[in-house]
Chain A
Amino acid sequence: MLYKVLDKGVYRDFVKALISEYEFIGPKKKDRSVHDFVPIKDISELDTNYIRTTIPAAKKILFPPNERLVTYELGKTIEVKPVVESSEKILFGINAWDINGMNFLDEFFTTDFIDENYVAKRKNLIVIGMDSQPTETNFSLSIGAEYAKDGFDIYLTELKDKYFIRIATARGNEILEKYTKVNDAIAEDFKEYNKYMDNYRMKFKMSVDIKSFYDNFELIYGNQEFWKRVAKNCYSCGSCNLVCPTCFCFNVRDDIELNLKDGNKTREWDSCMIPEYGLVAGGHNFRPDKENRLKQRYRCRLKTFIDKFGKYACVGCGRCIEACLAKINIAEDINSVKKEVSV
């Protein structure tokens, strides 16, 4: 990691240069409260002072809602070709917990089997991180995802009259050298950075007792009364999955053109909360009850990948809490697991 500082006076020119040189994705205001990460053509569109984004930026780019995996042509022989689409992009202004969400997906898509469709896009994604303010449902601090240690090329932290820059890759360093002028960070800069970070961490109001969940979940697992209560209002709509920066479930569709010759396999986001998720041919459903689906979602987010590679599949962004029509609150539920066990 290299530590540099960038003068605020040259920041706009730096960003303008990147916008003109690269395919540039950044936050743009959509309405009063929501921003969306979209292609930016002019710096006036860019608004890095965002609080809310509904669909996580990195997931949308690296694991799109619909993605062609294979095309084929039927004839005397069948020609099958992989589809791996990827082009170099800058993802600008993504915050720390969403970078950590992407870091989870990195690990996930390269464990057991390597998913080339994801990896190709990831390698081509230049990530320039920037802090954003947490919403009231954000519990990233408890999860330990409020700070990104890696996963980016450059990370900008806004201080009083300069940006404190962490450079994690040679690619990031080259971009800075080519498009702007940076100086080495000195002791004074670190001092100001520390003060900023202390203040930044104070802004995370929601806290969860995540450490206790790992063991307590197993005790509460068989308590169907508890889970029925938690899932009582669930509509099984899957909104929580759609907005999650780490959800990765998908279905694979096989579509054929009207010429009955050209076809393709496409993956599309799926949701573990939908009743059909566990349905197999013959009509047996392995998880027909919504309380069992929610319970399994919590296990998947908060335990499974601790066992697999030591990471939570949750960064505490709080999007699922805001998106839930039934007001199901994963943060409150983590805490009530402990409460239920302790009384």
Chain B
Amino acid sequence: MVLGVQEEESKSTIYVPDIAKIRRIKQISSTEKVFRIVLDDEEKQNNFKFKPGQFVELTIFGLGEAPFSIVSNPNNHEFFELCIRNVGSVSGALHRMEEDAKVGIRGPFGNGYFPYDKMKNHNVLLIAGGLGLAPLMSLIKYILNYREDYKEIMIVYGAVNPESILFKNDIQYWSNRKDISICISVDNPDDKWTGEIGVCTKLIPRVNFPPEDTYAVVCGPPVMYKYVVYELEKKKFKPENIYLSLERRMECGVGKCNHCHIGNKLACVDGPVFSLWEINNLKEAI
């Protein structure tokens, strides 16, 4: 079979990153920065098209590579943005980098994305915990571009404390819009906090979207999923209408290194976004 693979005059392999420049760095909390990235090759940048929920593999030369979700608007082809927490070796090094620094990019990867197409003419409930808001950002921005295609939109967001709330400018903008509602809860409020207190799963019972007409998308730390799913199932959401983005260790992003295997699937090529129906068949996923 392999002998039949067509020989292409290829100057690249699936492991070769494209060179890109960090155009802008914005600190949005004490531990998170948003990196705006532009591929050096103009044509490649123009053709860099991604779907909400997809990710890239980012190389810091001399150090290594790691996967990051894209947070910018898929309709923007001039650049893309990554929101990165200072937590590992690659992310830590990125946080020490300055604007105009060069990195390597492979991707976008992931065949499982947030199903913005299926969601059309339905309500959309977005549930995010902590840094889980980042992968949802590109979906939210996309939906708002085509607002009339969707029914009600609600964002439920949980953060550790008011200081750690991400994308405050976007949240401010959404709050000012009449066609999207947002509900934020923090675990540890400060004196000035007047909003909800506790984990964001507590807010789900109050959502009054009809479950048969609603898609729910969820992203957050691994510990969050079971509780969110429990609440959504209590509200009679169908498993095929609930989508979750799963994080796993990845070394390649292209279905070869196997580190992201979950049951018989790979987070990189089959996900990273899966429906709850798929996840229920994977057993160890959440």
Q: Which residues of A contact B (CB under 8 A)?
A: 69-70, 72, 74, 77-78, 80-82, 84, 103, 106-119, 122-123, 169, 221-222, 248-256, 260, 263, 265, 267, 270, 272, 277-282, 284, 286-287, 292, 296, 299-300, 303-304, 307-308
Contacts and interface: CB of A to CB of B under 8 A. Distances in A.
Given A112-B269, A251-B257, A281-B88, A304 B264 contact: yes
A69 B257 contact: no
Contact of A80 (B85, B104, B247, B255): B104
B252 interface: yes
B54 to A, nearest CB: 15
Contact of A72 (B11, B61, B261, B264): B61
Contact of B259 (A78, A108, A270): A270
A272 B5 CA distance: 29
Given A69-B15, A280-B249, A281-B89, 6 more contacts: A80-B17, A109-B2, A272-B258, A279-B249, A304-B264, A307-B264
Contacts of B66: 281
Interface string B5-19: 100001111111101
Given A252-B64, A282-B88, A303 B264 contact: yes
Given A112-B269, A116-B10, A256-B62, A284 B222 contact: yes
Nearest to A306: B264
Contact of B19 (A77, A115, A272, A307): A77
Interface string B221-257: 1100000000000000000000000011101101111
Nearest 7 pairs of A and B residues by beta carbon: A281-B88, A256-B62, A106-B2, A112-B255, A113-B254, A304-B264, A69-B15
B201 interface: no
B87 interface: yes
A278 B285 CA distance: 12
Interface in B92-116: 102, 104
B65 interface: yes
B35 to A, nearest CB: 16
Contacts of A304: 261, 263-264
B118 interface: no
20 contacts: A78-B61, A84-B13, A109-B256, A112-B255, A113-B14, A123-B2, A123-B3, A248-B256, A250-B251, A250-B252, A250-B256, A251-B251, A252-B252, A254-B61, A267-B257, A270-B251, A278-B248, A281-B88, A284-B222, A296-B284
B59 interface: yes
A223 to B, nearest CB: 12
A249 B61 contact: no
B264 A308 contact: yes
A221 B282 CA distance: 11
Given A78-B102, A117-B13, A299 B251 contact: no
A80 to B, nearest CB: 6
A82 B12 contact: yes
A119 B2 contact: yes
Contacts of A110: 1-2, 5
Interface in B267-286: 269, 283-284
Question: Which of B3, B247, B248 has the most C-beta atoms of chain A within 10 angstroms of its own C-beta?
Answer: B3
A281 B15 contact: no
Given A114-B14, A116-B13, A280 B247 contact: yes
B72 interface: no
Contacts of A254: 59-65
A112 B10 CA distance: 18
Question: Which of A263, A270, A281, A307 has the most C-beta atoms of chain B within 10 angstroms of its own C-beta?
Answer: A281
Interface string B49-65: 00000000001111111
A53 B283 CA distance: 36
Contacts of A296: 261, 284
Contacts of A253: 64
A169 B258 CA distance: 32
Contacts of A300: 258, 261
A82 B62 CA distance: 16
B38 to A, nearest CB: 14
A113 B256 contact: yes
A300 B3 CA distance: 25
B62 A270 contact: no
A295 B90 CA distance: 31
B13 A82 contact: yes
B157 to A, nearest CB: 20
B123 interface: no
B138 interface: no
A249 B59 contact: no
Contacts of A114: 5, 14
B69 interface: no
A169 B1 contact: no
A116 B91 CA distance: 29
Contacts of A270: 251, 257, 259
Given A80-B17, A252-B65, A278-B249, A119 B257 contact: no
